[in-house]
Structure 1
């Protein structure tokens, strides 16, 4: 297995809609039970938007966060494939790669971006 210690996951969470596909894909790939997670989506909100009307007055953020079980699907990376969470993200808000590359990409994406260095 190659060394992925300088790799991470980038999540542009302004686009995450809490569909859960990353969670389920990870659980299936790793054989985890329903209450075990390699990645888990956390909800932040609701909060009232500053310039909101009643119809669109509230906002939420959904933030996928890798857990200590995440190894970024190292076996898949060895085979030239994407991590399961990245592959199955329906909003394409996840990416993976070397931390330096992700940091440059994050700088272009805006403020609702997180980079996670996984073990």
Structure 2
């Protein structure tokens, strides 16, 4: 079964815990990332409405912590996500969730 990381971006607080945990787990230098937090906004959409969101995006360096998963552990970004908005599982598990919520799937 194909494992994917799903981000419920409605709840990402932009804390960078996923980035830091990944860098430490894999010994990456401060300018290298396995997952990178992207900021959208702040953009004023109307007089009373603003868009200010964060979206963690796995990079090409991400192997979904294959060694950790082989040992029965969660990927480090998922384990250390302070907002609890990162999840991992089989792609099929998240199909219904994607229809109902604001989530993005990365394989």
Give the alignment's TM-score, normalised by structure 1: 0.83
Q: In the alignment, which residue of structure 2 is the partner of 1:75?
A: 67
Shift of 1:95: 0.2
Q: In the alignment, which residue of structure 1 is the partner of 2:36?
A: 40
* CA shift digits 1:29-74 (9 cap, x unpaired): 000000000000001112225462xxxx533110100000000001
Shift of 1:7: 0.9
Task: Please tell me whether residue 19 in structure 1 is matched to residue 18 in structure 2.
Answer: no
Structure with the greater alpha carbon radius of gyration: 1
Give the alignment's TM-score, normalised by structure 2: 0.92
Cα RMSD (Å): 1.5
Question: Aligned ranges for residues 80-99 of structure 1 at < 5 Å?
Answer: 80-99=72-91
Assess if the C-alpha contact under 8 Å between 1:103 and 1:115 holds in 2: no
Q: Which runs of 5+ in 2 are unaligned?
A: none
* CA shift digits 1:60-99 (9 cap, x unpaired): 1101000000000011111111000000000000100111
Give the distance between the partners of 1:95 and 1:22, measured in 2 at CA: 12
